[in-house]
Amino acid sequence: MANSADTAVRKYGKQKHTSKKERQDRSQAAREASLQSKVLNSSTALELPESDKNPKFSGRNDKENSDPIPNSIPGPSTPLQKAQSCASRLTKDVDKFRKKFTYWKGQAVDSRESLRDMRENEKEERKKGEQRAEDSEKQKIIEDMENELEREKKQRKLDADEHKTCHAHLNIQLHEYHHQIHTLKARVNRIPARLSTAMKRVVHTYNNEAEEQQAFYFKSANRTIPNEAHDILLDLVAIDEVPANKVTHVFKHIAEAFGISIHGNVDRRSIGRIVKEGGNAAKLQFGQAVIDAKGVTISSDGTTHKNETYETKHSTVILANRRL
């Protein structure tokens, strides 16, 4: 059965990590307290302990009492003397155990006090640590605020410098704008004169172009008949059936009716070549149409009149995008 000293020792051992020697001392004290409890129980019954039968008594040495219990005690031969001798020996053991109990009780009290002191010291250290952490956090907050204030001062200074630079730049731009406005005003003042000059040039150019448009040339500067004249002469001969030797005179009469002057002349031989070129071009166009066509339908018919044979041929060409 554990006593108060053992309980105090165990409790103290849970709270603090002790050395191996201290743990051995506490185990020794616990064993001795247990042995004392057993001896007290045996002395109340006034019975001879089992250790008397064994000449070797398992006594324990400690630092307060290092006298070993004798292994064999010579006693009288009568039972009463033996009992008195055993009682005397047990009384001495009880006194010794009481001394040990008193010693270990004092040790337990000291342990409690030291444990309480340790807990108080631990609480104080914890409070000091919390206070230090709080102070460190406050110091950190103060440093952050000082850094933020320093950054704000630098930013304000940079903004002021930028404002000064921007103000100088705006003054330069304002001066440039004033110069541009002065230049634009001068240009605006010169606009009427420039418009008058431009109008004169346009009228002169238009008159020259109008005169050029009122004239038609059968031949260009290099003595060749232009494509426009080719088309007109070919249409008059092929579509309107105007004779080749009369085409030039017919075209001149029509142009004079519209107020267009005709320069140059085209002879009958040139008109024949133009008609021949138009026929060849028509044949080439028809051949290309037949090559590109999806389908071609050719039909023909013929008749005779006064021993003259007349034949006609007709073709229908279907192209991809149109129908001829």
What are the pLDDT digits (tens) for 198-207? Answer: 877 777 676 6
Q: What is the DSSP string of 235-285?
A: HHHHTS---TTTHHHHHHHHHHHTT-EEE----HHHHHHHHHHHHHHHHHH
pLDDT at 301: 92
H-type alpha helices, the chain: 4-15, 20-44, 50-53, 79-213, 227-238, 247-257, 268-292
Residue 293 pLDDT exceeds 70: yes
The full set of domain ranges for the chain reads 4-51+75-131, 216-292, 294-324
d(CA 145, CA 132): 20
Is pTM beyond 0.85? Reply is no
Task: Say whether 16 sits in a helix, a strand or coil.
Answer: coil
What are the pLDDT digits (tens) for 189-242? Answer: 888 887 888 877 777 676 666 555 677 777 877 888 888 888 888 888 888 788
Query: Can you tell me the mean pLDDT for 251-271?
Result: 82
What are the pLDDT digits (tens) for 113-168? Answer: 888 888 888 888 888 888 888 888 888 899 989 899 898 888 888 888 888 888 88
pLDDT at 39: 62
pLDDT at 19: 78
Q: Which one is predicted more confidently, 187 or 303?
A: 303
> CA-CA-CA-CA torsion for 234, 237, 242, 248, nearest 10 degrees?
30
Q: Which one is predicted more confidently, 111 or 42?
A: 111
What are the pLDDT digits (tens) for 18-75? Answer: 677 788 788 878 877 777 777 666 655 444 444 444 444 344 444 444 444 444 444 4
